[in-house]
Every structure is written in structure tokens, then in C-alpha cells.
Structure 1
Amino acid sequence: MNVHSCRLWLTLAALVLALTGCGKREGAPVQAADGSGGSAKPAPKILLYGNGAEVQDIDPQIVTGLPEHMVVTALGEGLVSYDARDLHPVPGVAESWEISAEGLTYTFHLRADARWANGDPVTARDFVGSYQRILTPALAAEYAYMLYNYIVGAKDYYDGKLTDFSQVGFRALDDRTLEIRLLQPTPYLLNAMNHYAWFPVHLATVAKFDGLARRGTNWTRPENFVGNGAFVIKSWRPNQAFVVQRSPTYWDRARVKLDEIHFFPVDNLDTEERMFRTGQLHVTYEVPSAKIDVYRRENPAALRIAPYLGTYFYRFNVTRPPLNDVRVRRALALAIDRESLVNNVVRGDERPAYAVSYPGNQGYTPRARLQGTVEEARRLLAEAGFPEGRGFPPLTLMYNTQQNNRLIAEAIQQMWRRNLGIDIALSNQEWKVYIDAQHTKNFDIQRAGWIADYVDPHVFLDLWETTSGNNDTGWGSAEYDRLLAASLHAKTTEERYEIYQQLDQILVDELPVMPIYYYNRVHLVSPKLINFFPTLLDLHPWKELDLAE
């Protein structure tokens, strides 16, 4: 999933109002409403969560970003969910399932008490219709490949070669039984199905607002949205917290401990840190890099630094000269000092990245490694026609508005200027503009990051398939596509991982993206927050979280 943040324009008055409201939410038990001095009621449990960016949409089959992910997973649920401590698959809407002996057929048994927020039962037909929607070519869902790579007939339907969806490997055997037929055994499928691309949508509501094959219709407006998750929308207003409250229809509502979650779109890390320090947030999205050492010394209990299954990189638009020349891309990649960046700029114990795949993911570590010196970078740039940077055309590096992204971009800009003699302009954009530019390839170089959607090395490699909705570089390779398809038919994990080694080598050779560092999750967490365990994906089932009284 994309890693990001977005500019939040708040007037001083609005900020004061928001902070005052937060303070009241954390208040003492309230007096009886009649003022009679009757028994006090406990204050509602309201989680105040720094979400980094303004949520752009809540359609689970359209969104691709982390802020959206956080909200969507509160509002919806798929067939399977994940354990709070280690993310292994656990029952969600499906209370149980069977896998055939050859690993090609999964049969899910849905809960009798699974309900949509309007009280409708959640049925197997809801899932079949939802999967048909995400695979509908007109919808152009970026995450459609998370289904069509595995399911019989799904790619042909997505490509328009098959029009009869009954021929695709999804079948509702009855209201509570869903059968899924695979192209090949996929041992990590249940992990992948935790992703919101596999969530159902309320088809009657989507159809009412003409959204079955269209993006951005009014079915996702707060007054119209119908989800099946542990929370429902209470309010969603621009530049204010996205507020969800406990769902009265959720099948596991007795287990939900929080009354509300307020997702705050604060992109200014200094503001976010002050909000945490003054009790206005329980969790921050990030930490200003200059404050990490301060918290290490003065409040280490609040500072959380943990491995985070993701890679921070720059994306090249290889359709634009001179970035269509691999020599230029390699020169740019070799001219930066990753060790200096992580030690002096990022400061969260991150590791420099010399390949795309995250090392140690389920026992897989890429052997491919970007290697070379600054002298080699200068030689490559000269061979491409730009000796000492002379004649190099104007290029712009775009990054989404966020303080740490700016600091990294400025440091890399200086390295390119010093080591290659080229000046690359910087452009910061709010999240919506940034995402639009990414998907329309309206950029030269773009800051990016990829956090795994599930725990398996495949997740770092399938998005670079030529037609992947999340590729966004203009790069493609027939050999890469062939190997990726072959990996899905590998007989053993060892055979699959050897194919991944070839894929990683192609990415290092071709460099459609420039790896910079492997993430750590660095944020501030209140000691009041209970059951917020560190996980590789920084995912935390919302229904498991609690706040100390």
C-alpha cells in the first residue's frame, strides 16, 4: 500500500476548537443528566489517532493509501481477519473454512449473525458481487490484481476476454457458503485476504448511486455508506477528524471496547507531536526526525520503534527522457549516500536499501544489490550525454507534503547537485494531488513507499508487473511478467524464492524505482492504549484495542 501524508490546512481558530474538543473527550466521569447528583457515568472511550492525511475515499475497492486503510478497516471486514499479536489469519465474516487436498478450492462458511450496518445479512452473494465489481474493467481498480492473479477466470474477466462472470472462480453455494477456485495452490492466500480489496461492499447501496462500475459516486458519503465492520461513520468533514463509533449490528460487537475512534489528518509532524505531548492524541502517525533522540532520552516509554515491512523509494517515470535511459536512472541511484540519510536525516534506526524486496520477509532476502560508486555514476551520466551534468534537462522530484519527506528530498537534491552536477527541483503536493499525479504519470521523479499488504515476499514483486494498477512507472518487462507468473506455479517455497531472486535482480538492473531505505515504524504511543502490539504491518484490529480508565 502507498505510504503517505497530506497537507492539513487549519485556521488557528479551528485548531483550537479541535484541541478543546479532544480535551473534553478525555474528561472525568460526567454528572447525571438531570443534575441530581445521581451515579456518575464513565467517560466514553475515544481513541485519538494521528492518521497523517485527509482521507480521500472510503471505497475499499478503490483506495490505496494508509490513511484510507486505517479508516476502511474500521468500517468493513472480509472473510478473514488477523491476530492482534502476529497477524496470522483468524475468522472474520467467515466463521470457518476448508481447503481441498490439492489446495485449489477454498470453501468459506459465513456467520449467521454477520450483518451490514443497516441490519441486512452479509451473504455469500454479497462477496461474489463485490468481487465481480473490483474485477470490472471500467472500475480500473488498482488492487484488482490481488484477485486476478489467483482466481480461475478472473484475469480474463478483468481484461474483457470473458464476459460471463459465472465462469470466474467465485460461487455462492447458498447464502452462507462461498466457494473460491484457484489457478494454483497459493499458501499465503489467507494472509492476502486480510486486505480490504477482499472486503465486500453493500451492493444495493452501491447500485443505488450508480457505483458498480464507476468511481467517486455518492454511495461513500457518510449519510449513504453501509459497511459491515466494527464501527460506523459518525462524522466526516473536510480538514477535521474522521469520526467512527461502535456499530450496533456488528456480529462481534460485545468484544469491541472503544466507543469511538477519531482519525486526525495532521500532516505537520511538529503539530502532531505537540498534540501527543498535551494529551490530544494517543498515537501519532510519525515523529519529527529531530525529536526522536529527545524522546529516546526523556520519554523512551512513549517512543515506539519497530520493524515495518516496507521500502521507501523514489519512483521514476520511465516514459520521460532522460529517465527512459537506464544509465541515467542508475547514475541517480548510485549518487546518493543511503547510510548518511538513515543516520543523519531519518534517524529511526532504518536500514539502507539496495534492493526492492524487504530482507528477511518469511525467510526471503534478495541477493540482488545495487552496487557502484559516485565515480561510476558520473561515468554513466556522461555516457548518457551529460558530462558533469552539462545539458541535463530540468526535472522535478515530487513528494507528498510531510516534514520528513521534505528533509530527505532536500538531502538527496544536494547529493545529486554535489556528485553529478545536476539541479533537480523539488515540488511538495497535498495527498490528493500527489495521488492523482502518480496514477496519471504526471511526474518526473516521485517519492514513494510500499508497505506490504500481507506478510509474504510476493507482495513486493507483483506490483511491478507491466499491467499492475500500482506500478505507475511506465516500465514493463515481458521477462519479468513471465517469471512472476511462473512463481505462482512453483512447486515448493524454495523454487518460488529462487524465481523471486531473478525478479529482484531485474529490478536492480532496470531500476524503474530507486530503493532508499527499509522502514521502521517510528511513532509515539500513549501508555493508556491497551492491546496495541507492534506488528510487521503496523496493523491492529480495532475491536481489540482498549483505553485504560
Structure 2
Amino acid sequence: MTKHDKDGKIVNGQAKDIKVSDDHLTYTATLRDDIKWSDGKAVTAGDFVYAWQRGVDPKTASEYANIFDPIKNATKIRNGEKKADGTAYAPSELGIVAKDDKTLEITLEAPCAYIMELFTFPTYMPVRKDIIDAKGDQWTQDPTTYVSNGCYMLKDWSHKESMTYVKNPNYYDKDSVTNDTLKFMLIEDDAAQLAAYQNNEIQFAYQFPVDEIAAWKDKPDYHTINQLGTYLVCYNTQKAPFNDPRVRKALSLAIDRNYLVEKVTKGGETPADAMVSTGVTDQDASKQFHDVGGGYYSVKPEDYEKNVAEAKKLLAEAGFPDGKGFPAFEYIFNTSSKHQSVAEALQNMWKTELGINATLSSQEWAVFVDTRNKGNFSVARHGWLADYNDPISYLTLWVTGDANNSGKYSNKDYDALIKKALSTDDNSVRMPAMHDAEKILMDDMGIAPLFFYTHPYLMNTNLKNFYESPLGFDFFMYTTVE
């Protein structure tokens, strides 16, 4: 219904008007009259209702089902909760109703400070019931059934090779779209992507080997953006010895984060001393949540020796003096030159400073995600780009039972604080609760943040008007080629 403009501000998109009730619990959205699907059919309020109900339905098993939690009954539906009569809450009981083809009424569980941000998120976008009924989950695999309502439509998909998009002639703002065709080359290998860029086969390289950053940094092709995201280590907190907070903290303190960003990743990242990254606003919008909360351990280069001394002390208290008796464990990560380099650095730091042995396991993305989600690991690479500019996007991950809580971290006081933050849109209540929750998480060292993300990329100097959101979305619709 809404979208981000070039300045990152939320503006109306498919909706021409959104009204809010005095109690901030009901949102009435009026859709534009000229919105259509790529096959020419009108986009209706019912398409939004179907998409949201499908998103929370446990049968869909969406990894992003919890992003609907601010909507009335969403949590009850996706968790299969029962009503007093013993029947489960049905997707049809979600707090969204089509009053007519152009009017949506949305009811929330509680006032939500970031609901307009959620309305921009892909999971909140409409989908077509008739297409999915006919094709099931395969509807996105074929250009003839991949019906969309955005500015581009899929023309060709050569699997593992390329995807070609063409301007959607039915898009309401098609005259502002500057390119008729966009072709994305599907190149997994970083070195191959750089070679394609150097050979002028592509004009935009989303990623390239970290060892090449220094060679490109001073060239006009090189760009970087600070993202709202955190790269971290995830412990399996239900598996010994990582069920001991002292062990988790020892491994974290032994990590030289400055070495990582200066010698390994080299993309201008910032050493992380908290879960919520820099750039996220606090109660006073002129201040950052990170700056108000502060760091939970020192990342100053001069304090690294003190951190290592504390790590050794904690490891001894946990029963592993100088690493003796500490079981060898596996650190898993998804295939990437960057992740490989980080993994090797961590392996060396843990061995050199603590005397413990980690083996490394690089896995293809689908295998890696499945392994991590099932908890079949000891320590794993993790990372998170915020879905919207609010600390809660980082902190709900570690609530007991959350789908993204791969390490199965659990703390009832943490859960209670997050529940409190979710119960109101009053930032004078929400922000202190989230600061307190982050402190618990970091005191427990349920995870070990390493650095706050940046995104280095290469772009041909003849491309103009491309922009990227700190949330990780890339916008090519207004790009021009000179």
C-alpha cells in the first residue's frame, strides 16, 4: 500500500489515502482507481486480504508469518491457538476486511509505531488467488503465471543464468519508469561477478571479492552504503558447552572486531558492540538507539587485550582453563569469499587466544539455512538486515520460539520486555523496554555481534539515478544510462 521514495520516506503507493482512528487501532486504506496487475486485471482490496490471510496461515509455512503479528489475531492464527469453543483461529479471522473493491479496513492488536513501515514490506503486498489456485507454489517459476502489480514484469527466467524484466504497461506510474528492460545475471561466485563487470557484461556488481576492495576503493565505480543490519555469530544455546553464558561471552570477547573490519571485510563496516545497529532512531528521532543505549563491551583497539584476559577468565570458570577439555566444534557459514575469510579469522582467534579448536563448514545457501533453522549446529554465521527502521525489527528475533531464533535463545524477562514494547505505540514506553531487553540479550551473550553492515558495490559511471535503501532494497526503476 505504501512505498519508500528516493529519499527513503514512506509515501502512498497502491493506496491513495490511509486514515487512522483516534485510538490508533484501525486503519482504513482507499486504493487507487488505476492500479492493475500486469495481465490487465484490476488490483482489488480482496487481493490484499487473500495475501495477508495466506501469509499467516500455518499451512503456508511462511518464514515471514510473524511480520503480521501487529494485525489482530495474527499471532493466534499462525500459532494454531484455540478459542474457548476448542476451534482454532482461522486465517479468515485476521484483522483485515475488504469493505468493497477499493477499501480495506485493518484492525491492530495494539497501537503499532511502525505499521506504516510494514505496509511497504513485500510480505504485505497483494497476490492473486486465481493464479495460486491454478499453479500452487510454482506460480512464480513461470513468466506466464508470475503476475505482478509493480513497475516491472518478468519476461524470461533462464534458471541459474539470468532473469529479464520489462516495464509493466499497466503500472499506474509507468511514465516515471526510465528503462524498458532490466536483465539480472545470476552469478553466485564473487570473482566471476567481478570478471563479468570488468568485461562489461554487467554494469552493476552487487558483490565482489573482499580482497579486491582496496584496488577499487578510489575508483568512481566503487560505492558503499551503511545498512541497517548486523553481522553476528549465533550460538546453539541448547547445546553444551554453548548453553553456558560464560562460554558464549568468552568466545565473543576473544574476537578482534577491529581486525575483522580493517583486515578481513574491508568494506567500511563498524565493529559491533550491540545487537541493534547504528542508524536506527530512538524515542527522540534526532538520536540513534545505539548511541542512547551504548555498547555492551568495548570495541576499542586498545582494550582488546583486556577483553582476551576476561575471556580466558570466563572460560576457566566454565571448566576449560586455557581451553583444556573444550570440545572441538564446527562453525558453519554459507558459501561466500567474505564469509570464508571471516570464518578463518574467527577460527584463528579462538585457537590463538583461547586454545580451542573450531573446524569450518561452508554450505550452499539452501543447505545452510535448513541446517541452521533445524538447530543442527554448534556455532553458525548469522546476520540480519532490518525490515524497517525500528529496534524491534532486530529484537523480536530472539524471543522464545521465534522462527528466526536459530540458536533457541530463551529468557522470560527478555520476552516480557519485548511483549511490553509490542503492546503500545508510545515510544516513551517502547524504547526503554527495548533498551532493557537488549541489555539482557547482551549480558547473556545469546548472540555475538561482529560488525554493522555496509554494502560495497560496483556500478558503471554511466548509470545515474540508482538508489539503495539502508534496508537493503535496490531501486533501478528510475535509473538512466548516459
8 Å contact from structure 1 (residues 353, 516) kept in 2: yes
**Equivalent residue for 2:139?**
219
Q: Equivalent of 2:266, from 347, 350, 353?
A: 347
Relative to 1, partners in 2 of residues 1:306 and 1:174: Cα closer, same or farther, differing over 3 Å? Answer: same
Q: Residue by residue, what CA displacement relative to the aligned partner does 1:444-468 show, whole Å, maximum 9, x if unpaired? A: 2111211111122221112222232
1:294-373 alignment runs, 5 A limit: 294-297=215-218, 299=219, 301-362=220-281, 363-365=288-290, 366-371=293-298, 373=307
Relative to 1, partners in 2 of residues 1:476 and 1:263: Cα closer, same or farther, differing over 3 Å? Answer: farther
Give the Cα separation in 2 of the matches to 1:256 and 1:408. 39
Q: Equivalent of 2:78, from 158, 162, 176?
A: 158
Structure with the larger RCO, 1 or 2 (CA within 8 Å, 6+ apart): 1
Structure 1, unmatched stretches of 5+, are 1-78, 212-216
CA shift at 1:166, angstroms? 4.6
**Equivalent residue for 1:5?**
none
CA shift at 1:179, angstroms? 0.8
SS at match of 1:179: strand
CA shift at 1:125, angstroms? 0.9
Q: Equivalent of 2:122, from 185, 190, 196?
A: 196
SS at match of 1:184: coil
**Equivalent residue for 2:98?**
172
Q: Equivalent of 2:371, from 437, 440, 447?
A: 437
Normalising by structure 2, what TM-score?
Answer: 0.91
SS at match of 2:11: strand
8 Å contact from structure 1 (residues 368, 508) kept in 2: no
**Equivalent residue for 1:18?**
none
SS at match of 2:268: coil
**Equivalent residue for 1:258?**
179
Q: Residue by residue, what CA displacement relative to the aligned partner does 1:197-222 show, whole Å, maximum 9, x if unpaired? A: 1111111111223x4xxxxx322221
Q: Residue by residue, what CA displacement relative to the aligned partner does 1:140-193 show, whole Å, maximum 9, x if unpaired? A: 222111111x11222112222243445431111100100111122223211122
Of stretches 362-371 and 176-185 in structure 1, the one that deviates more from structure 2 is 362-371
Relative to 1, partners in 2 of residues 1:498 and 1:249: Cα closer, same or farther, differing over 3 Å? Answer: same
1:418 aligns to 2:352 (yes or no): yes
CA shift at 1:534, angstroms? 4.8
1:509 aligns to 2:443 (yes or no): yes
CA shift at 1:491, angstroms? 5.9
1:456 aligns to 2:390 (yes or no): yes
Q: Equivalent of 1:389, from 314, 323, 341?
A: 323
Aligned length: 460
Give the Cα separation in 2 of the matches to 1:443 and 1:238. 30
Question: Given residue 102 of structure 2, which amino acid in structure 1 is its aligned partner?
Answer: R
Give the Cα separation in 2 of the matches to 1:400 and 1:345. 17
Question: Given residue 194 of structure 1, which amino acid in structure 2 is its aligned partner?
Answer: T
**Equivalent residue for 2:110?**
184
**Equivalent residue for 2:429?**
495
Q: Equivalent of 1:537, from 463, 468, 471?
A: 471
Of stretches 487-496 and 426-435 in structure 1, the one that deviates more from structure 2 is 487-496
Give the Cα separation in 1 of the matches to 2:173 and 2:388. 24
**Equivalent residue for 1:128?**
49
CA shift at 1:351, angstroms? 0.9
1:143 aligns to 2:64 (yes or no): yes
CA shift at 1:387, angstroms? 2.1
Normalising by structure 1, what TM-score?
Answer: 0.80
Relative to 1, partners in 2 of residues 1:538 and 1:160: Cα closer, same or farther, differing over 3 Å? Answer: closer
**Equivalent residue for 1:116?**
37
Q: Equivalent of 1:106, from 27, 33, 42?
A: 27
Question: Given residue 82 of structure 1, which amino acid in structure 2 is its aligned partner?
Answer: H
8 Å contact from structure 1 (residues 245, 261) kept in 2: yes
Give the Cα separation in 2 of the matches to 1:444 and 1:264. 35
Question: Given residue 284 of structure 1, which amino acid in structure 2 is its aligned partner?
Answer: A
8 Å contact from structure 2 (residues 112, 425) kept in 1: no
Question: Given residue 462 of structure 2, which amino acid in structure 1 is its aligned partner?
Answer: K
Percent same amino acid among aligned pairs? 33
8 Å contact from structure 1 (residues 331, 378) kept in 2: yes
SS at match of 2:155: strand
SS at match of 1:125: helix
Relative to 1, partners in 2 of residues 1:324 and 1:186: Cα closer, same or farther, differing over 3 Å? Answer: same
SS at match of 2:205: coil
1:81 aligns to 2:6 (yes or no): no
Give the Cα separation in 2 of the matches to 1:545 and 1:469. 36
SS at match of 1:461: helix
8 Å contact from structure 2 (residues 54, 91) kept in 1: no
Give the Cα separation in 2 of the matches to 1:547 and 1:455. 31
Q: Residue by residue, what CA displacement relative to the aligned partner does 1:387-408 show, whole Å, maximum 9, x if unpaired? A: 2222222311111111111111
8 Å contact from structure 1 (residues 368, 505) kept in 2: no
Of stretches 382-391 and 132-141 in structure 1, the one that deviates more from structure 2 is 382-391
1:524 aligns to 2:450 (yes or no): no
**Equivalent residue for 1:8?**
none
**Equivalent residue for 1:286?**
207
1:229 aligns to 2:154 (yes or no): no
Q: Equivalent of 2:407, from 473, 478, 491?
A: 473
CA shift at 1:428, angstroms? 0.9
Question: Given residue 388 of structure 2, which amino acid in structure 1 is its aligned partner?
Answer: Y
8 Å contact from structure 2 (residues 233, 381) kept in 1: yes
**Equivalent residue for 1:427?**
361
CA shift at 1:263, angstroms? 2.2
Question: Given residue 75 of structure 2, which amino acid in structure 1 is its aligned partner?
Answer: K
Structure 2, unmatched stretches of 5+, are 82-87, 282-287, 299-305
Give the Cα separation in 2 of the matches to 1:248 and 1:168. 33
Give the Cα separation in 1 of the matches to 2:481 and 2:30. 33
Question: Given residue 424 of structure 1, which amino acid in structure 2 is its aligned partner?
Answer: A
Relative to 1, partners in 2 of residues 1:534 and 1:198: Cα closer, same or farther, differing over 3 Å? Answer: closer
SS at match of 1:236: strand
